[in-house]
Every structure is written in structure tokens, then in C-alpha cells.
A and B are shown apart, each in its own frame.
Chain A
Amino acid sequence: DGGITQSPKYLFRKEGQNVTLSCEQNLNHDAMYWYRQDPGQGLRLIYYSQIVNDFQKGDIAEGYSVSREKKESFPLTVTSAQKNPTAFYLCASSGLINYGYTFGSGTRLTVV
């Protein structure tokens, strides 16, 4: 079955470490997105990519980095520059926009 997979489901980071969250899709979608969700809040766009080897900053890109070397993959790195990284991270992809986005099941990142 086609879908979008995020891993790991839970991730713990020590202060000062960089961590990378994985997002893979087999839907043949061109566009992919990363969102951050804090408790009781909506979605905030971190980065998005509409085509391989190209990506744009969203509303809260500081302290994050991405790459889009393959159509299927859009990993997100949370760097040590991100001061408050504890959150729920959601990856999404889209093909034809009338079908909206398909979301992964999320990664919960906690700083310990």
C-alpha cells in the first residue's frame, strides 16, 4: 500500500546534539512538507519542497535543515541551534492538490 512513513516514532535528544527525523513516501508525490505541532497548538510549517533538489523555508525554519536528494525522501535535521525542539513533528506529501496532503504518523522529539 502507498503511504508516508516517519521514523522513529519517539526520539530523545541531549542538549547540543543534532538529530535527524526520517520521512519516506511511496506515493510518487512531488511535494513534501515538515510541520511542527506543540501541545494545544496548530501546525507550523518548517520547510517544504516542491521538487527534488529544491526546498524553501517555511514560517519557523531557524534551527532546522532539510535535504531533498530523492523524490521519496525528505529528512529533517533538528540542529543544536533550535532552542526549544521538544515537539511533535509531522511530515506530509502532496500530488494533485485537490486531494490535499497525506500525513505521516509523526515523530515525538523530546530533549533530555
Chain B
Amino acid sequence: GEDVEQSLFLSVREGDSSVINCTYTDSSSTYLYWYKQEPGAGLQLLTYIFSNMDMKQDQRLTVLLNKKDKHLSLRIADTQTGDSAIYFCADYYTGTASKLTFGTGTRLQVTL
């Protein structure tokens, strides 16, 4: 089945850029997503990218997609303490009966 992998932890200083990486295995993925989870809360959809795009920018967020390497990244510019959370990538491909496959999540710690 599909596998989505992320590194577990990332620490950055306030004001720096954060880059959270994700790899997936199925080349027929059509949509890829980034979610944010704050402590004790549900997941909030941050952004998504269609597989025919290489990049998508939304304010401080930039998503890069490298289909050849099956690699997705989320860049957060000017990282703030409020960005501290767990970030999940997820993908959808037609073989999964409309189910998303989630990565294990990357915990982002923002230090002063």
C-alpha cells in the first residue's frame, strides 16, 4: 500500500524559515495536503497542491512538489512561536477509495 514518511522533529529559531519534508511512494497521487495540529486539537488543513503543479504559495507558506522524486515540502517563512505544532502531510490517489494516507507528523518547535 501507499506509504507517506516524514521526519519526526524540527527545531528552528523565531524569524527563520522552516522546511518540513515528506516523501510518498505512489506515483499516481493526485492531491497532496499539509495539515497543522496544535496541542489537544484536531487537524487543520493548511494547503493542498494538485499533482500537476510544482509549487503553490499562500502568504508565508510555500509548497514544493517534486514528482520525479515523490517529495513534498512545506516552507514556512518568518516562523513564529504560534507555528509550533505537529505538521502532517497526506496524499490521495485513486487506489484508496477516497481515503487520504497520512504521514506520521513532524513536530515543529520554534525557539526564541
Instruction: Name A residues whose Cβ lies closer than 8 Å to a Cβ of B.
Output: 6, 31, 33, 41-43, 45, 48, 50, 88, 90, 92, 94, 97-106, 108
Task: Evaluate contact between A43 and B88: CB separation under 8 angstroms.
Answer: yes
Q: B-side interface residues toward A, CB under 8 Å?
A: 31, 33, 35, 40-45, 48, 50, 88, 90, 92, 97-100, 102-105
Q: What DSSP secondary structure best describes chain A's contact surface?
A: strand
Q: A101 vs B102: C-alpha distance in the bound complex, in angstroms?
A: 11
Quick one: which of B40, B45, B103 contacts A100, CB cutoff 8 A? B45
Does A104 lie within 8 Å of B50, measured CB to CB?
Answer: no
CA A50 – CA B42 in complex, angstroms?
21
Contacting residues, chain B, for A102 (C-beta < 8 A): 45
Say how far B5's CB is from chain A's closest CB, in angstroms: 10
Residues of A within 8 A of B48 (CB): 98-100
Closest B residue to A102 using CB positions? B45
Contacts of A99 in B (CB 8 A): 45, 48
Do A100 and B33 have beta carbons less than 8 Å apart?
yes
Q: In whole angstroms, what is the CA distance A43 to B90 when docked?
A: 11
Contacts of A100 in B (CB 8 A): 31, 33, 35, 45, 48, 90, 92, 100
Given the interface contacts A50-B97, A97-B98, does A103 sit within 8 Å of B43 by beta carbon? Answer: yes
